[in-house]
Chains A and B, each alone.
Chain A
Amino acid sequence: KAGVTQTPRYLIKTRGQQVTLSCSPISGHRSVSWYQQTPGQGLQFLFEYFSETQRNKGNFPGRFSGRQFSNSRSEMNVSTLELGDSALYLCASSLEVGVGTLFNYGYTFGSGTRLTVV
């Protein structure tokens, strides 16, 4: 069974540019979440998608956005990049079916996209 696939693995961008990261979840997983990891702030929740709808959003500015397609693949976009956006961006998928249900499943994470903004 293929794991969660994130592309690209590494990315270098210039301040002010925009970037799109891609995530393919495990087949059958409809929940896809995104996290940012930095040495200073640790792991922070960006947003979660379920069946093409953004279900939850973390405390990030509107420059961070995402979407999910009908095949559950997800993309996240960061516009007007800042130096502080340099981070490891992790995507995770889960079998979890909905908010309020009994959580029985953990999340499977991809290897991440390391974004460097110069």
Chain B
Amino acid sequence: SQQGEEDPQALSIQEGENATMNCSYKTSINNLQWYRQNSGRGLVHLILIRSNEREKHSGRLRVTLDTSKKSSSLLITASRAADTASYFCATVERGGADGLTFGKGTHLIIQP
């Protein structure tokens, strides 16, 4: 079953601009992860944030987590054409009984 819901479903911006994607989920989580997928290929792990963390950075990526609102955001700064992809949030529930539960994804298009 789907837990996370990404918003927006699709996003088109100019190269160099920042892109922000949001994710909401329903249950208590152990951690939340963001993945990127290019053209129906395998997913690439971007960043993991644990439930006791509020913000995490990795290169041009910034992830925030608000467990009281059950939401997370992914910010990609100074976007590049190569960032064009689908981005998914995935949660690991407490106890980790259901593997990764994915949202439906945000399709990001970077216009050169």
Q: Determine if A88 is an interface residue (Cβ-Cβ < 8 Å).
A: yes
CB of B94, distance to nearest CB on chain A (Å): 9
Known contacts A56-B99, A106-B33; A111 and B42 CB within 8 A of each other: yes
Partner of A45, one of B99, B104, B105: B99
Partner of B97, one of A43, A99, A107, A110: A99
Residues B30 and A103 in contact, CB atoms below 8 Å apart: yes
How many CB-defined contacts (below 8 Å) exist between A and B?
73
Q: Determine if A61 is an interface residue (Cβ-Cβ < 8 Å).
A: no
Chain A contact patch, size range:
20 to 34
Residues B45 and A108 in contact, CB atoms below 8 Å apart: yes
Residue-wise interface mask of A (79-118) relative to B, using a CB-CB cutoff of 8 A (1 in contact, 0 not): 0000000001010100000011011111111111010000
Closest Cβ neighbor of A37 among chain B residues: B40
Residues A42 and B31 in contact, CB atoms below 8 Å apart: no
Specify which chain B residues have a CB less than 8 angstroms from the CB of A105 in the assembled complex.
Answer: 48
Residue-wise interface mask of B (16-50) relative to A, using a CB-CB cutoff of 8 A (1 in contact, 0 not): 00000000000000110101000011111111101
Residues of B within 8 A of A (CB): 1-2, 30-31, 33, 35, 40-48, 50, 88, 90, 92, 95-105
